[in-house]
Structure formats: structure tokens, C-alpha cells
Structure 1
Amino acid sequence: MTLSVDEYYQMHPSTTPDMEFNTFAEAHASLTDLARLVLIADIPSSDSITGASNWNMDVYNTERANCVILVRRWKTNFEDLLCCHPDAAPPLSINMLRMMHATTSIIIAAGEFGPDTRWDEHYDGFVEIVDLAESIVAELCQSGCQSYFSVEQGYIDGAFLVATRCRDPVIRRRAIEVLRRVPRQEGIWQSAGAAAVAQRWMEVEEEGPKAPECASDVRTRVSSARTSANVDASSVRLQLYMSTRESAHPVVREEYVQWQKK
């Protein structure tokens, strides 16, 4: 589907998410709407929009700043809710929602424009996501089930964000291990496939005679990626758009990634 800028405006939500919630279910609905608002705010960078050269960056920056405020406000209200009602939901559900918030916070704070090193500023947020993901997976493993499915967002997309956008070698490997540990599907996200793609993404970025010791050592970075998955064959065609410090022009690299079904 190709959208004009006018059509994009028509898609934009006319109201902001309700930040006044009194139950866990209301908090969940509020954050879901907020995450959707954040994703729509980032649409201008998509290839699906024509007339991008006419895009008003002032509008984008205003929308982004508004989302940042709403994300922070949601966090404050959610912690107030838990303070008044500590048993509002099981710990697993609470951690899932906290992880969704942490992921949404980084996405809107980093934005869609600027050097790829902008992600390095969110180290603390990446650590928070991995800590929450490890806690969630540990609790899932205690249930004794061999596979899991959820129609809702859980920990996979957040762990994948860390595995691909955090260039700290220790933290991103923790994220990949989280994805590998439990065979799980959340909506369209499959943990095994996400782990395989993230592993290859990391390997490509870390190619060189010396393994990176910190994020600043990663000189070649994937700025964006496109995937074409064959779920039945447990494989994906991966196109990596790479930027380097030595070149102003991105390099496209194509990879084929496979993983084992569990």
C-alpha cells in the first residue's frame, strides 16, 4: 500500500490515549494505544509514504515530543496504581507491561532520524529490558510448558530491539540468549526466528580482526533491515542496509538465515 502525506494524516489518531486509569486492564489498554501512537508517529520514515521530501519535520518533532511526555506520564500513573493496588495483576503480567513501556520509551526517544550511534545513549534502557525479559522467561520456564503462544505483545520484540540496536557485546548477547531459551510466539513474532536474525545481524556488525569490547568499537552498523520470511521452512531472506564511518552511502548486504524448529 502506498500512502500520500494527506492519507497519512487521515490515519493519525484524533485523540490521545487515556492516561487516567484505575485498573490494570485500563493501564494495559492505555499503553497499547500509546505504543500504537508511537509507531504511527514514526511512519514518515517509511518507504510506503510518497512525497517524503515534502514532509514537515516540525510536525514530526512535535508529535514525537508529545509521545515522550505521554510515555513518561503513563509510567508515573502506572507506578501510582501499583502502589495503591500491589495485587492489581500477577507479577508476570506486570513485568510484561513494564517491558512494553521500556521498549516503547526507547523507540520514541531514539526516533527515526539521525546517526545510528543515537541508540548508544539508551544503554540503561536496554539493560532494563533485558533484566525484565530474563525475569519473564524464568517464570515461563517454571510453568513446565514446552511451547507458548500469545496473541499479545510480550518480551520478544523488546529483546529483539536490544539484540539489534544495543551494540554493547554483553547486553546484546544476553538478549539473544533470552530469545533462544523458550520456543514462543507472540503475534507474528517467533522467538527462534528473532534469535537467528539477531545473531546474524550481530555477527555482521562485529566482523573484523578484533571483537568489540564496547558499543563504540562497532564501526559498521545496520541502519535498517528488510525481511522476507518463509515460516514453513524456518528461514528468512534478510537485507541489511549498513552504514560505516568511512562512507556516507549505505551498503546493502543480503543474508539468508535459517533456524531449527523446537
Structure 2
Amino acid sequence: MPLPKGKPNAHPGFNPGIPAAFNSLEEARNSLDYQGSLCIQNAIDFQHWKHLEEGTETQEHRDAFNADRIRFRAIFDKWMTAFQEFLDRNVAIMNSKLLQGAMVLKMNAKLAVVHLETDMFQFPEEKCWDKVKPFFEDLVDLAAAVIDAQRAADQTLLQKPIFQLDHSIIGPLFTVSHKCRDPTLRRKAISLLYSAPRQEGVWDSILTARVCERIVNLEEEGLGEVKCAADIPDWKRISEIQVTFDLQARSGEIKFTRLRNRQSGFREPVIDVFEW
């Protein structure tokens, strides 16, 4: 169902159409918000159906979901092309703040593509994330570039945290840290979270980094030296993560699901409490 457009031109770009090239960062952001909202709602609708009809999916359902996934993937490809055209025309005259905003937009678009690249019917295991490592690498590189640009613009950021209402780099780095099982890349993402203390809406980079470290420990525990993602079997990988903190007690609680053992066919809920 199309989202309401509001008054004509009230929010440029907040509509189904994607131009050959955007005219401004505002238009590009509104367009990404519009398409992202549709994509998220589509995923929510599917997850609701899946939980109601567990194990009863038909080939028709699989085909319908895959068609939607491919359709949204093409939409985000078109957005990326229009955004790159905008950057090619304007990057030379953009100041540091605008360039940072552009990198964050690109991160959000790539994050959407990461999820669209994983087909939960064809690849129901957590190993499906291993095939999108190049996108994870892009997310980490873009986050590092944002941090570098912010520090270059304001040297005092080396001594003080950043506070902002908009989401920026924490969410994408969290995704890399817990979905990318490459040991080097996920640790680089965690290092970036620690290196640039910030609060983005409800996201706190230091607390997020601690959660990610715990997730890595839970998945790699008992496996010996992990050299690549393939060294972490699917039964060790955790998913459906929910986190709560007790700041006074300096502790956190992670709720997640994981297979009980190598032979188990179902993911079971687990609660892990950790301290710092």
C-alpha cells in the first residue's frame, strides 16, 4: 500500500518515484525514508504471517516473498544510481557536514540491500549472512570515513562524546558486529564503536560495543581459533537479539535464540547476563 504523500512538494522525494538523479540531500533522504518504510512494512507483514503459519509455507508463498525481495532490491539499486549521480555533480561543492550526511545515507541504503540479499526461504540458516561480506566491508569503511570526517571538522571530538537525535553509524556497525562472522571485520566494527563515543537517539555506542563483544564471545566460545566466518557453525550462531541494561549494576541482559546443539532443528530462547 503506498504511503501518504501529503501536500504536493511538501517533502520532496517522499513518493514512489525515483528520478535519474536527486536534486538535493533532502530529496534523497526523503526518498530513502519512503522506500525503506515500505520495505520494512513488507518484512513485518511477512514475519507476522510466518509466525502464524509456522511450517505451512507453500511454494506460492515462497515465490511471492522472493518476488517482493527482488522488486525492492531493484528499487534500492535505482536509488543508489540516482544518489551517485547527485554526488558526482555536487561533491566538489559540498562542505564536511553535507559529505558526512551523504555517507550516512549511503550506509543506510547499503544496510537495506544487505537484508534484501538474504533470502530467508532459500537460506534459512544464519550462514546466509556470510555471502554479503562485501556489503559489510562497505559499511565499516563508510562508518570509519564518517568518524574521520567528524574529527577533521572538530578536533575536540577526540575528547568528548557526540550527542544527536538522528541515527548514523551505530546501527549499521551493530549489524556488522553480530551478523558478520568474519572475526577481523566484526572486531573492526566493535573497535569503531569504542573509538568514537556517541549517543544516537536510543543507541549508545559504548553499550552497543559491549553487547557486540558478548555476542562474539558467545558464538566463538569453545571453537578454538576462528579464522573466518565458516569456522562458526550455524548451531553456535545467535539471532533475534533483545538487550536490556542495568546501568547502576553495570550489567546487561541479552535475550536471543540459538540451536541447542548440532542435531537440533529448532532455535530456542536463551537469556545471557553479563557485567562490565
Task: Say whether the fold is shared (TM-score over 0.5).
Answer: yes
Residues 26 and 255 of structure 1, relative CA distance in 2, 3 Å threshold: same
Q: Which one has a bigger Cα radius of gyration?
A: 2
> Per-residue CA shift, 1:30-51, capped at 9, x if unaligned?
1122222222222146469863
In structure 1, the residue matched to 2:191 is 177
Instruction: Please give the alpha-carbon distance, in whole angstroms, between the structure 1 residues aligned to 2:245 and 2:46.
Output: 22
Q: Per the alignment, in what secondary structure is the counterpart of residue 99 of structure 1? A: helix
Instruction: Please give the alpha-carbon distance, in whole angstroms, between the structure 1 residues aligned to 2:248 and 2:164.
Output: 19
Find the partner of 1:105 among 93, 110, 113.
113
In structure 2, the residue matched to 1:228 is 244
Find the partner of 1:248 among 247, 262, 265.
265
Q: Contact conserved, 1:38 with 1:108, CA < 8 A, in 2? A: no
TM-aligned CA deviation for residue 129 of structure 1: 0.6
- Unaligned segments of structure 2, at least 5 residues: 6-14
Residues 60 and 188 of structure 1, relative CA distance in 2, 3 Å threshold: farther
Identity of paired residues, percent? 25
Q: Contact conserved, 1:31 with 1:74, CA < 8 A, in 2? A: yes
In structure 2, the residue matched to 1:23 is 24
Select between 249-258 and 194-203 the one with higher mean Cα deviation: 249-258
TM-aligned CA deviation for residue 140 of structure 1: 2.6
Answering whether residue 66 of structure 2 is matched by residue 61 of structure 1, we say yes
TM-score using structure 2 length: 0.80
Select between 26-35 and 88-97 the one with higher mean Cα deviation: 88-97
- Unaligned segments of structure 1, at least 5 residues: 1-9
Find the partner of 1:74 among 72, 76, 79.
79
Q: Per the alignment, in what secondary structure is the counterpart of residue 110 of structure 1? A: coil
Residues 232 and 137 of structure 1, relative CA distance in 2, 3 Å threshold: farther
Runs (4+) of structure 1 exceeding 6 A deviation are 47-50
Residues 32 and 153 of structure 1, relative CA distance in 2, 3 Å threshold: farther
In structure 2, the residue matched to 1:168 is 182
Q: Contact conserved, 1:41 with 1:64, CA < 8 A, in 2? A: no
Instruction: Please give the alpha-carbon distance, in whole angstroms, between the structure 2 residues aligned to 1:201 and 1:61.
Output: 30
TM-aligned CA deviation for residue 62 of structure 1: 2.8
Q: Contact conserved, 2:180 with 2:229, CA < 8 A, in 1? A: yes
TM-aligned CA deviation for residue 149 of structure 1: 1.8
Two-structure CA RMSD over aligned residues (Å): 2.6
Answering whether residue 102 of structure 2 is matched by residue 94 of structure 1, we say yes
TM-score using structure 1 length: 0.84
Q: Per the alignment, in what secondary structure is the counterpart of residue 239 of structure 1? A: strand
Number of residue-to-residue matches in the alignment: 249
